[in-house]
Structure 1
Amino acid sequence: MMRLQLAAQILNGRYQNEDAEGEDIAFSSISTDSRSIRSGDLYVALQGERFDGHDYIEQAQQCGAVAAIVHKACVCSLPTIKVADTRKALGELAGAWRQSFAGQVIGITGSNGKTTVKEMLAAILAEQGEVLATQGNFNNDIGLPLTLFGLQAQDYAVIEMGANHPGEIAYLTSIAQPDIALITNAGEAHLEGFGSREGVARAKGEIFQGLAKRATPVINKDDEYSEYWQTICKEHQAVTFSMRDKTADVYGKWQQKASGIALSVSISAQAFEINLSLYGEHNAMNALAAICVAQVLAIPPEKIIRALTEFKPVRGRLTMHRVNSQLCVIDDTYNANPASLQAAIKVLNELHGEHWLVMGDMGELGGDEQALHFSAGLKARELGVDRLLATGRASAQAVEAFGEGAVFFQTKDELVEYIKQHQPKYQPEHQPEHQPEHHQEHHQEHHQEHQPRQLGILVKGSRFMRMEHIVQSLIERSN
């Protein structure tokens, strides 16, 4: 709980309450959406290009809001705090709310893997105590403050931080004030805002630069920019993880099996193994990152093992759909950039049979957009993709680079229809229950010569491309 007069002091705002003489009202949480207001909430009237939250103050009051934060005069009976910028006020209040939290706050950022690592770590910590974790894409300057207002009596908070411009991570760090901060990696994501991969690394490094002295940085020692991050953490006791360097605090080795990843972990004198229902080296690295943070928090190995053994992938993050014995569709449509595309293709290559890549545009690549899509086509060919099917303006470059075996489509429906016409026809396996021995040998030879075509299809693209619709269509049509 927080009281309005204290909130007004924190925000240096003007508190106005015409209906209650001197009454100091308390609020239990905060909301920026009048449709989701709960009784006792403080409503923050945000203004965007296409909306103005000030227009919904009356609706917020009807839904139970006890007061509103505004940046312009409004005619209403609801108590208000007037500030210069309601969006900034949201962050300032969240920072003050966070200061009363007695548990451990873990901040996670990076170009790839932050959502998966967040979910893995939350699962591990749930074995030890109560956990608050970022939901969905609530990782920006609006979503993160709203997440922090969920802090109550939990033991841990796992907070994801996203950004597409310099300075954003610094701002989010100042609000969340993490006790432990992790950068998963720095890759070619959001280049439109950061300019270069080095710009990405510097922006992600803002999470370390904003740490209190007592906080612990967690560094991926295998990343190209790990030394840079260690230099900006020289006043802190950093903890490292690696798949290549045995001197790291947490060292791992992985092996891909049909059922998933077999991960061997070494922490000082301890060693243990985990079997995960996930695929790909990048997911092994994601698990290692989560384990490293858990090690900082002194979580026992048996709880780490149990949580990760039972962990299921985030929907749209390399989700395997085995449609039938001949067709496997990999849904990796949550988002896309060059590094995550390559990682997904490597997972595709683990499947038997032909490998098709269904590709949509990768967003926010700035001036390098055309070149990076062209490179993606070359890389897909180099990594052994048999056929590339693409849609989206920029993905035409990938088709050109891939050459023979690549097809461009104006619409998703055309692409799905093409797959329907060219995918292998399903042939249910059938074998008589009782056969003479010589007939069994003949059947095995015949079966090997006439095995039905196997096909793995990877569907990948940035969020705005809505490539999950293709996944759904493929599953429905194949069934």
Structure 2
Amino acid sequence: MLLKIDEIVKATKGKIISKSSDEVTKIVTDSRLTDEKSLFVPLLGENFDAHDFLEDVEKNGCKAVLTSKDYKGDLTVIKVEDTKKALGDIARYYIKKLNPVKVAITGSVGKTTTKDMIASVLSNLFPTLKTNGNFNNDIGVPLTAFRLEDEKVAVFEMGMNHFKEIEYLSEIVCPDISVITNIGHSHIENLGSREGILKAKLEILKGMNKDSCIILNGDDELLYNARDLINIKTIYYGINNKNCDILAEDIIEEDSKVKFKIGGFSYTINTPGIHNVYNALCAITVGMQLTDDKEKIKEGLMNFKPEGIRQNIIKKDNFTIISDCYNAAPNSMIASLDVLKKTKGKRKIAVFGSVLELGKFRDELLEEVGRKVKEYDVDELITVSEDALCINKGAKDSGFLCEKNFRDNMEVLNYLKANIKDDDVILIKGSRKYKMEEISEGLLK
């Protein structure tokens, strides 16, 4: 990247206190990453104030800083009212300057996988930038934008916990194409109801112009019924709702892949689960807005592989692990049970941690996950910590008797190591807080 100091002042409506450089080629919020090419943006958190590091970054050779406090030094100092807002203002300016096609993704579950599938499709067509990891908030989205160089397309994931957060991100990015994957129960504690979650997700429209389009899951009743609230081009994808514009048919699940057709044209994804067909439909629909080349879309989709600790199927000696440890919501846990059921093996074991931010709905939703265990032919249910006991209760209420609860991951790991049998399939999933990958990594050692 390259931005002139005058452009930064214009974008932030800041005031130059001192000036020793004319441009920067890097914008950072971590003082440890500063160098002579950097603009350092010190952020204020609940338990820290990065303004405390202004002298340190100057010693590191940093040439420019934003600040909301008084600071004098031998470098460029730009005074602004709010450094976090200024970070977003610079990102908005920089995105507009480079003017890629902007794709934004939000939803209760499946955001990251859908983002990665979309990027896999689009990168087979154009130079494409995507959000790395979980950089999907009011800091991560601007930092993603600053990675833009000469890409033709930028794919942004947008997360939220409260109202107005998606609105803020949308007004930074100004998406040309937006996606909402579904309306589940994630963050319902803060938003009150699924209708509240819908309202928060639809804030993605705030930064979009009349020529843009939004792509929605037509099998999600709340999203489908929201069509009268939307005044831009709206495209629905789905499996069950025959009124969808893009409809998956002839779905065939084959161990670790799924095949399906859209209008007679065949697609394949190299990852299991009907829930991933929805993610793929979304990626295909985005691709269709930018090209008529179905073969290129198909090829890009086949290139997709799950990243990190998301739904990796790992064969180890005489057993199989489905490691889906990055995060969890009630809907995604039930979807993972479907994958467990359809993965080849003799004994099926589900290992679940709890789910956060469900508020007063927590017991009801987790008990429903437990009730599904019997329906999906699980042989043994294992949960971690007292927080997950609602899952056990739901399982027992449905007549499922082979369930256990352990205090922590190490107890689960020791139990599994002592009891694994040939051809076992072990699903491991829970909220990020519970670090369920400790179990899968322990089994793989």
Query: Which TM bucket (shorter chain)?
Result: over 0.9
Helix, strand or coil for the counterpart of 2:428?
Answer: strand
Q: Is the 8 A contact 1:373 1:394 kept in 2?
A: no
Q: Which has the larger radius of gyration?
A: 1
2:204 equivalent to 1:207: yes
Name the residue aligned to 1:172: 169
Q: Distance in 2 between matches of 1:113 and 1:368?
A: 21
Q: 1:9 to 1:230 in 2, by over 3 A?
A: same
1:393-429 per-position Cα deviation (integer Å, ceiling 9, x unaligned): 32022123323211111121111111122221x5xxx
Q: Is the 8 A contact 1:370 1:394 kept in 2?
A: no
Q: Distance in 2 between matches of 1:329 and 1:173?
A: 38
Amino acid at match of 1:346: D
Amino acid at match of 1:470: I
Question: Which stretch of structure 1 is more off in the superposition, 252-261 or 276-285?
Answer: 252-261
Q: Distance in 2 between matches of 1:350 and 1:79?
A: 60
Matched pairs, number? 438
Amino acid at match of 2:4: R
2:295 equivalent to 1:302: yes
Name the residue aligned to 1:236: 232
2:16 equivalent to 1:15: yes
Q: Distance in 1 between matches of 2:224 and 2:365?
A: 26
Name the residue aligned to 1:251: 247
1:23-50 per-position Cα deviation (integer Å, ceiling 9, x unaligned): x621223110111224422110101122
1:40-62 per-position Cα deviation (integer Å, ceiling 9, x unaligned): 22110101122221122233234
- The 5-angstrom pairing of residues 26-105 of structure 1 reads 26-105=23-102
Name the residue aligned to 2:389: 396
Q: Distance in 1 between matches of 2:171 and 2:387?
A: 37
Helix, strand or coil for the counterpart of 2:310?
Answer: coil
**355, 359, 368: which one aligns with 1:362:** 355
**277, 284, 290: which one aligns with 2:277:** 284
Q: TM-score, normalised by structure 2?
A: 0.94
Name the residue aligned to 1:377: 370
Question: Which stretch of structure 1 is more off in the superposition, 333-342 or 64-73?
Answer: 64-73
Identity among equivalent positions (%) equals 34
Cα RMSD (Å): 1.7
**248, 257, 260: which one aligns with 1:260:** 257
Unaligned runs of 5+ in 1: 427-453
Q: Distance in 1 between matches of 2:73 and 2:354?
A: 46
Q: 1:64 to 1:107 in 2, by over 3 A?
A: farther
Q: 1:402 to 1:246 in 2, by over 3 A?
A: closer
Q: TM-score, normalised by structure 1?
A: 0.88
Q: Is the 8 A contact 1:219 1:230 kept in 2?
A: no
Name the residue aligned to 2:121: 124
Amino acid at match of 2:336: A
Q: Is the 8 A contact 2:352 2:384 kept in 1?
A: yes
Q: Is the 8 A contact 2:71 2:77 kept in 1?
A: no
Q: Distance in 1 between matches of 2:365 and 2:46?
A: 31
Q: Distance in 1 between matches of 2:8 and 2:240?
A: 49
Cα deviation for residue 247 of structure 1 reads 4.1
Q: Is the 8 A contact 1:130 1:154 kept in 2?
A: yes
Cα deviation for residue 232 of structure 1 reads 2.3
1:348-389 per-position Cα deviation (integer Å, ceiling 9, x unaligned): 001232211111111111222233222222222333222111
Amino acid at match of 2:281: L
Amino acid at match of 1:344: S
Name the residue aligned to 2:4: 3
Q: 1:63 to 1:132 in 2, by over 3 A?
A: farther
